[in-house]
A and B are shown apart, each in its own frame.
Chain A
Amino acid sequence: QKEVEQNSGPLSVPEGAIASLNCTYSDRGSQSFFWYRQYSGKSPELIMSIYSNGDKEDGRFTAQLNKASQYVSLLIRDSQPSDSATYLCAVNTNAGKSTFGDGTTLTVKP
């Protein structure tokens, strides 16, 4: 079992829809959780970080964390074509190191 697993994708949604990206992790001691967006050929950029159970909202993005279920998700409301990218889930299992999932590629169709 991988330490961090994401939807295999690709995920395709129409413009204006809600995109839902999911991530599960294996280490119950994990404390910090991150979502990065990576455009093709570019480096990852941080979208959201979440540290406690529940929801965290930032504009059109909402991160959800459930430590009991070892599950973290990212919702993108009112999806735009510019949201088309690969989304990477990262989990900090030890201070100073992150483990990344393989990413889910999202395509938003106009």
Chain B
Amino acid sequence: SQTIHQWPATLVQPVGSPLSLECTVEGTSNPNLYWYRQAAGRGLQLLFYSVGIGQISSEVPQNLSASRPQDRQFILSSKKLLLSDSGFYLCAWSLTGHTDTQYFGPGTRLTVL
């Protein structure tokens, strides 16, 4: 069966510091991978998605970036965090196909102070 991991689970960072969040998927090959952010009381905002190694599409221009160095690894980064970057960051995967059901990792709660 497939498993998705995210770390860290929680993170408190000062404004202007760098960020690196990691997501890995087990039990499947060549998944589609996604990064979402959820602000308090809101829905999910798609940040990046990837259909393969090195293939990243950005949905929202901002100070975040994503990379996919391996088939089942997806990394979200920032060089300088802003207060507005606080939120719940979720990684998700799906199989390529018309249904594209997405399955979510446990998430990282980021607080920028």
Q: State the A residues within 8 Å of B (CB).
A: 4, 31-32, 34, 36, 41-46, 49, 51, 88, 90, 92, 95-103
Contact assessment for A32 and B106 in the assembled complex, using a CB-CB cutoff below 8 Å: no
The interface residues of chain B lying within 8 Å CB-to-CB of A41 are: 109
Q: Which chain B residues have a beta carbon within 8 Å of chain A's beta carbons? A: 32, 34, 36, 41-44, 46, 49, 51, 90, 94, 96, 98-107, 109
- Quick check: B43 and A88 within 8 Å, CB to CB? yes
Residues of A within 8 A of B42 (CB): 102-103
For B42, the closest partner residue in chain A by CB is: A102
9 contacting pairs across A/B (C-beta < 8 A): A32-B100, A34-B101, A41-B109, A43-B106, A43-B107, A49-B101, A90-B102, A96-B94, A98-B100
The one of B43, B49, B99 that contacts A97, using a Cβ cutoff of 8 Å: B49
